[in-house]
Amino acid sequence: MSQTYEKYFVPEPSRYPIFGSIALLLIASGAVMWLNKVGSGPWTLAIGFAVLIYMLFGWFGQVVRESEGGSYGKNVDASFRWSMGWFIFSEVMFFAAFFGALFYIRVLGLPWLADSDNSLLWPGFSAAWPSAGPLVEDPFTPMAAWGIPAINTLILLTSGATLTWAHWGMMKENRGQLKAGLFLTILLGAIFLSLQIYEYMHAYHEMNLKLTSGIYGSTFFMLTGFHGLHVTIGAIMLTVMLFRVIAGHFSKEHHFAFEATAWYWHFVDVVWLMLFVVVYWL
Amino acid sequence: MAAVIPDHLHDHHHHGPTGLMRWITTTNHKDIGTMYMIFSFIMFLSGGVMALTIRAELFQPGLQVVQPEFFNQLTSMHGLVMVFGAIMPAFVGFANWQIPLMIGASDMAFARMNNWSFWLLPPAAILLLGSFFVPGGAMAAGWTMYAPLSVQMGMGMDMAIFAIHIMGISSIMGAINIVVTVLNMRAPGMTMMKMPLFCWTWLITAYLLIAVMPVLAGAVTMVLTDRHFGTSFFNAAGGGDPVLYQHVFWFFGHPEVYIMILPAFGIISEIIPTFARKPLFGYASMVYATASIAILSFTVWAHHMFTTGMPAVGQLFFMYATMLIAVPTGVKVFNWVATMWRGSLTFETPMLWATGFIFVFTIGGFTGLICAVAPIDIQLQDTYYVVAHFHYVLVAGSLFALFAGAYYWLPKWTGHMADERLGKIHFWCSMVFFNITFFPMHFLGLAGMPRRIPDYALQFADFNAMATIGAFGFGFSQLIFIVVLVKCVKGGEKAAARAWEGAHGLEWTVPSPAPHHTFEVPPVVK
Ligand code: HEM
Ligand SMILES: [Cu+2]
């Protein structure tokens, strides 16, 4: 607790949250309709996303104005730091569910499926990984680690370094270095994503590796897919930061939005390392 | 006098929207807390109607009231609505009202996000309750939504999945808000170990929420992709395993039951000292017990799966780990009783509920311990014994604590004392009818009556009839609470700032009802 008292910023009533709720209701109902082929699902989805984007622009825009207007003191800054940390923890747990599923299947599920109890049911099925299970008979080639995935690892690691370099620029008040670092990081993120898209297309067209390729396809695409989604979100956040830097936002002392983005990016980086080891390599 | 004036005069920035828009756009923790509680009470009544329909069907053997398919929808939705719609939001409502008042903060750390956390709930409720009216009806795979059943349901299942996603987002944002408020917004001098126990239990609950709600999101996402996109997570033919669903679900599910009980422990730990006129016995041990319950709760999930197939070492591990949790839980019960020991006790309505809580919750704790013993649970799993267990901890535990807290803090929220006589009638009716409803279920379970079945063998008829009578009694008793609420909001004996003479804590230093804005200048705690 700081000794000197500083009024904590409490925002005025806001209409953005209700737009967010309407957006999610539309998105959810749109998705349900679309998946079950009733009504006009895609349209509902599209409107939902439009409302969501409006809400995100409006809400974050207001936060940016409040921040630049000096509403956020030391205490609010501390709140943001705590909250970003806990948010990333929740993301870690989301990935943990999928990593846990992969671990369970490889270490317990498949061996049980192939053990003597089940040999009458599925004679000749062996628990070797990668596996598509006893009944999916559509041979596929598993993804090798030492091609694009290894290059992507290098790219993401480098992007972590360029982002730190950008942060040094912020601390030295060297705007040029800050902008260059951010730009390089975004570029590396974009290259990563392009390579991953290429890899997915390759998997579908040449390796017959699909989301439907049994448990291997399920875990592979869901884990790398959710990771890719997070890289996309991170890259969007970085782009916003770049625009804000160009607009002259942030100072040496006051730039938590930038740091939060960096935390997020590093988190995405670490998830990738885990993916590289347990999904591609082992 | 001073009670109402601040609301309108001292409110420099309360010239925001009025009418409905005030509630839709509000960033005030008290408004948001009130909305949470109203919402959860509505959901409590909807879930209650489902429960009474279930009990009506089970009044006699045979099928009388509903079709089996609809019965399954009712049991499933009753569980989901009560857990995610009634109990959890009610506790968040308490947190919103009380935590800033108790730690001397001007509001929650993120007031705008707080609004969104609440306003995500009505869309989720629309999806959940609306699913009754779509082709195929509501999801009917049980509130646990086990695969492969959940992979086969109709579009009601998809609606439930998205409802869970939305409620998960709401819970995670709400939890982050609470953690940050407690860690960062305490008044000067309010050290962690001086903090009211309610804030401690909510801090730990919020941590649990942040840790496990994403896991539930993962579980239902896997169900969704198995349903529509051809993944094989829970499909043995593709190398997956339906039991995997149970592991992921219960990794969320067991901490979830503590999410629903830890804030209740907090409320009880506020009330008992007030009416025993003694400080809480063993404050520090309460904090450590709460923390150890939270940590242990991640290591016991498979006690819900003793009959689904697990190696013996696994069964032993989960059995002993579960029994271990009873130790910190016992510490708590011991401390409450020790607080009352030689106190100058009075039994106003909140205290009645609190002592009732200790009594009945402890029964539920013991039956939990019995379920934890793997060789016994192989008999009990999926019988009414389990239903009895979790209603003793959830209804007599979480819900009774919510009522205790409501009667305790209503003076602070409304400025009026609640009607003591009606409150006591509400308590005694609830207590008696609760036991008439759920105690016989122990016998039914021990005799082998399976849960989630609309019809049953003749020898179970008497206890079922009894449970149904109790259930209707319990249901109608809750209408008393509506009367109490309306009377208390409209008028009644004016409440003093310190509404209960034995009460301590910052919330009792502000007028009753608490003005719209409190502690804009933080108090100094010595
Ligand atoms: C001493 C503490 C407790 C122990 C040892 C314990 C143990 C258990 C065990 C072993 C089961 C599985 C029974 C079975 O399915 O065969 C169970 C079920 C359950 N418990 Fe507890 N429990 C405790 C406290 C609680 C509390 C505090 C709550 C909630 C407030 C709770 C809520 C539930 C629920 C909802 C279920 C049933 C879930 C379902 O299958 O639908 N328990 N408990
Ligand atoms: Cu459990």
Q: Which of A269, A274, A261 is nearest to A87 (CA)?
A: A261
Q: What is the DSSP letter of B179?
A: H
| pLDDT given at position A123 | 84
Report chain A's mean pLDDT, rounded to a whole number: 94
From ligand 1's centre to the CA of B206, what distance in Å?
20
What SS3 state is found at B450?
strand
Q: How far is CA B404 from the centre of its chain?
A: 13
**Token digits of residue B452:** 């989630």
Residue ranges covered by each domain of chain A: 13-66, 74-281
Domains A13-66 and A74-281 share a fold: no
Whole-complex ipTM? 0.95
8 Å CB contact between B217 and A94: yes
Which of the residues B424, B451, B452, B487 is marked catalytic?
A: B451
Taking only the tens place, the pLDDT of each residue in A162-185 is 999 999 999 999 999 999 999 999
User: b/e for B127-142, b at 16 or more Cβ within 10 A?
Assistant: bbbebbebeebbbbbb
* Nearest residue of chain A to residue B136 (CA atoms): A36
| pLDDT given at position B15 | 60
| pLDDT given at position B425 | 98
**Token digits of residue B193:** 């170990």
Q: Is B258 a catalytic residue?
A: yes
Taking only the tens place, the pLDDT of each residue in B353-397 is 999 999 999 999 999 999 999 999 999 999 999 999 999 999 999
The CATH class, in words, for A74-281 is: mainly alpha
217-256 in chain B: CB under 8 A from chain A: 217-219, 222, 225, 227-233, 235-241, 243-244, 247-248, 251
Which residue numbers in chain B have pLDDT < 50?
1-13
**Token digits of residue B99:** 């935590």
Tell me whether B119 touches chain A (CB under 8 Å): yes
- Phi then psi dihedrals of residue A7, to 5 deg: -65, 130
- What CATH number does domain A13-66 carry, 1.20.1530, 3.40.190, 1.10.287, 3.30.160? 1.10.287
Taking only the tens place, the pLDDT of each residue in A264-281 is 999 999 999 999 999 999
Taking only the tens place, the pLDDT of each residue in A188-239 is 999 999 999 999 999 999 999 999 999 999 999 999 999 999 999 999 999 9
Q: Tell me: pLDDT of A59 over 50.
A: yes
| pLDDT given at position A5 | 60
| pLDDT given at position A1 | 42
Distance CA B472, CA B82 (A): 17
Work out the pLDDT band at A39, boundaries 50, 70, 90: confident
Q: Which residues pair with B416 in a beta bridge?
A: B494
CB atoms B215 and A83 under 8 Å: no
Work out the pLDDT band at A136, boundaries 50, 70, 90: confident
Which residues of B are less than 8 Å from A5 in CB distance? 188, 521-522
**Token digits of residue B383:** 């019988």
Which residues of A are less than 8 Å from B107 in CB distance? 8, 10
Tell me whether B484 touches chain A (CB under 8 Å): no
Query: A with B: how many residue pairs have Cβ under 8 Å apart?
Result: 228
Q: Which residues line ligand 1 (CB under 6 A)?
A: B 144, 257, 260-261, 303-304, 322, 325-326, 329, 365, 368-369, 371-372, 377, 380-381, 386, 389-390, 393-394, 397-398
Environment class of A84 (CB within 10 Å of its CB; exposed 0-12, middle 13-18, buried 19+) = buried
Instruction: Give pTM, 2 decimals.
Output: 0.95
